[in-house]
Amino acid sequence: MITTNIDKAGDVLNQGKLVVIPTETVYGLAGNAFDENAINAIFSLKNRPKSNPLIVHIKSLEYLEKVASHIPEKAKLLAAKFWPGPLTLVLSKKPEISDLITAGKDTVAVRMPNHDLTLSLLNKLDFPLVAPSANPFGSISPTCAAHVMHYFENELEVVLDGGDCTIGIESTIVGFEEEEVVVYRLGTLPLEEIEAIVGSVTLKNSTSVNPQAPGMQERHYAPNKQSYLTENVDQFLMLNSLDNVGVISFQSEILSPRISQQIVLSSKGDLKEASRNLYKAMHQFDLSSVDCIVFETFPKVGLGLTINDKLKRATTQKQ
Ligand code: TXA
Ligand code: MG
């Protein structure tokens, strides 16, 4: 059932079952982080490999000490600046954190989400919530309750409806190796904003660069429809004989007889607005009658770099 009742959600979680929670980034499929049955249920519902670790969602900055055994100064600075918000920190784990959550690693990923409903829920619980995005493994992340229902309608007792995600793109994941600050996943929070607090960071966001960062599959966030990414949609359509095309463009409408549907993500060219609309547009075209989807590359700055990384993964062909 879709509800805004956090008492109901709390009851279900206390029984060891799963609940979908809204966050500012994407919806999460949540369970008790201290209950291995609940954690196993998350992996099996998502069909997610156990080698891909989960993020622990906590209610406060103070609670971080219950999850992490060591918190570097730079991590403290980042958490103080950006929590609650779209930043996930990878830190040495406390022994109480299950190996199932961390895929056997000695680090745990943790964040404090910025959503009133979910923070109120976390405050009612005496455990944190593990929550991957609420989509089957590899597919597009949900940014509203309807997306979740499309994936898991019959499998869930409670979907907590917090409206449309205000950001609509996953958190940025940051870790600490020796004294180095390392970014494992590009996300909502741009590198520039992180560097303004802790100085320069190293990007290790592909399995080829960093086999330690699971979940950085080359194909991810992918629509079911055949999808392409190009800097110049017009030229791409002239060079490739595609028909019944759905185009997702950044700012400007593109005119071509090959295009049967088009979504302009932000006519005023605002990266945040465009990012918020991106997954929704992908879901919409996946369910529509278009035969394929052509994405226009985003401007290569700030959040645009994150989106281009996601679009590259979304348009990587199935092996
Ligand atoms: O915005 C978000 O982060 C959303 C919302 C629901 O919080 N969550 C999310 O979770 O995107 P998920 O499971 O789709 O992605 C979690 C990522 C995976 O790529 C995983 O490999 C990485 O976090 N991760 C988790 N623990 C890690 C660790 N110890 N070291 C490196 N990467 C880790
Ligand atoms: Mg995900």
Predicted confidence (pLDDT) per residue in 217-258, tens digit: 666 777 889 999 999 999 999 999 999 999 999 999 999 888
pLDDT at 286: 93
pLDDT at 319: 55
The pLDDT tens digits of the residues spanning 19-76 come to 999 999 999 999 999 999 999 999 999 999 999 999 999 999 999 999 999 999 999 9
Secondary-structure class of domain 226-318 per CATH = alpha beta
In the predicted structure, residue 213 carries a pLDDT above the cut 70 = no
**Minimal-distance CA residue to ligand 1 atom 3:** 171
- Give the position, in ligand 1's atom list, of the atom nearest the Cα of 109: 26
Cα–Cα dist 219/312, whole Å = 8
For ligand 1, which residues put their CB under 6 angstroms from it?
Answer: 23, 25-26, 28, 52-55, 86, 88, 90, 102, 105, 107-109, 113, 131-133, 170-171, 173, 184-185, 213-215
In the predicted structure, residue 173 carries a pLDDT above the cut 60 = yes
CA 15 – ligand 2 centroid, Å: 25
pLDDT at 292: 95
pLDDT at 317: 73
Probe residue for ligand 1, chosen from 20, 24, 47, 88 as the CB with the greatest number of ligand atoms within 8 Å: 88
CA 109 – ligand 1 centroid, Å: 7
Contact present, 306 and 259 (Cβ < 8 Å): no
Which numbered ligand comes closest to the C-alpha of 131? 1
CATH topology for 2-203 is DHBP synthase (3.90.870)
The residue ranges of every structural domain in the chain are 2-203, 226-318
Q: Residue 208 — very low, low, confident or very high, per pLDDT cuts 50/70/90? A: low
pLDDT at 207: 59
Angle between helices 303-314 and 271-287 (to 10 degrees): 20
Share of the chain above pLDDT 70, in %: 95
In the predicted structure, residue 123 carries a pLDDT above the cut 80 = yes
Give the best-scoring range by mean pLDDT among 9-18, 197-206, 310-319: 9-18
